[in-house]
Structure 1
Amino acid sequence: MRLPDPQQRGFALPLALTTSALLLLSSLSLQTLALHVRQRSHQALAIAQTRDAERSVAMAFQQHAVGAHACLLALPSSEWEGFEPCPGVNPALLQSGRVVDRDWELMHWQPHGVRAGTLQLRWSDGRQSKLDLELLP
């Protein structure tokens, strides 16, 4: 029976440990990459949902801003309460609402000419949005 060469003794264990460490590091790297991709996907979805909600508010705002309420849009929202040239209008219809599962509140409306303006909103989760609207004729 021949004894192993003293220089080759103990070669398998360090090789196995090194291989295991490399496999562990690579699997951790893949897991980190997957978590990062998942986080970015959730972030992109949240941004898309917010933009969709903003478009829904813009449409609802324009739908309520017809008829007698249309005269309010010529003024900043800070001047809506008690404005005499718009008798019988209820500015509250333009000051808050609900889109899907999120409530919104008008912070400020600033007209820009006859058919445009900037709408500033506060959402129920505390976020704020600023929308430039072009009003429908």
Structure 2
Amino acid sequence: MRLPDPQQRGFALPLALTTSALLLLSSLSLQTLALHARQRSRQALAIAQTRDAERSVAMAFQQHAVGDHACLLALPSSEWEGSERCPGMNPGLLQSGRVADRDWQLREWQPHGAMAGTLQLHWSDGSKSRLDLKLLQ
């Protein structure tokens, strides 16, 4: 039986520990990168869903503001109730609604000329939106 060289004793354990530590750090780095990518993906999806909901509200708002109700869009929302310019109009359809699984409420409508305005919304999840609309004719 041959004894190992005294200079080679204890070589395997430090090598194994160093290799294990490097592999552990590498896997943690990869896991961190994957978690960040997942978080960015979720955030991008949430932003896309919010923008889609905002576009849906803008379309619904414009669809409900046709015909007799179109006169309401010439006024700020603070003047809608009891307006003499739009007698008998019920602005209820323009003040709240539901898009997908989210409810919205009108915070403010501010017209900018005859064919544009700013729509401010409050969502059921507590978020707020501000949309600049060009009105359909």
Letter in 1 for 2:15: L
Q: What is the CA–CA distance in structure 1 between the aligned matches of 2:85 and 2:36, rounded to whole Å? A: 56
Letter in 1 for 2:6: P
Cα shift at 1:7: 1.3
Equivalences for 1:83-102 in 2 at 5 Å?
A: 83-102=83-102
Which residue of 2 is the match for residue 78 of structure 1? Answer: 78
Cα shift at 1:88: 1.7
Which residue of 2 is the match for residue 20 of structure 1? Answer: 20
Aligned length: 137
Cα shift at 1:96: 0.3
Q: What is the CA–CA distance in structure 1 between the aligned matches of 2:129 and 2:57, rounded to whole Å? A: 11
Letter in 2 for 1:24: L
Q: What is the CA–CA distance in structure 2 between the aligned matches of 1:84 and 1:76, rounded to whole Å? A: 13
Which residue of 2 is the match for residue 120 of structure 1? Answer: 120
Deviations 1:22-62 (A, max 9, x none): 00110011011001100100000000000000000000000
Q: What is the CA–CA distance in structure 1 between the aligned matches of 2:7 and 2:63, rounded to whole Å? A: 86
Cα shift at 1:2: 2.5
Equivalences for 1:1-137 in 2 at 5 Å?
A: 1-137=1-137
TM-score w.r.t. structure 1 length? 0.98
Cα shift at 1:5: 1.4
Letter in 1 for 2:31: Q
DSSP 3-state at the match of 1:98: strand
Deviations 1:76-104 (A, max 9, x none): 10111110121121111100000011000
Q: What is the CA–CA distance in structure 1 between the aligned matches of 2:17 and 2:79, rounded to whole Å? A: 75
Q: What is the CA–CA distance in structure 2 between the aligned matches of 1:41 and 1:131, rounded to whole Å? A: 24
Letter in 1 for 2:13: L
Structure 1 gaps of 5+ residues are none
DSSP 3-state at the match of 2:114: coil
Cα shift at 1:108: 0.3
Identity %: 86
* C-alpha RMSD of the superposition: 0.6
> Which structure 1 residue ranges, 4+ long, deviate > 4 Å from structure 2?
none
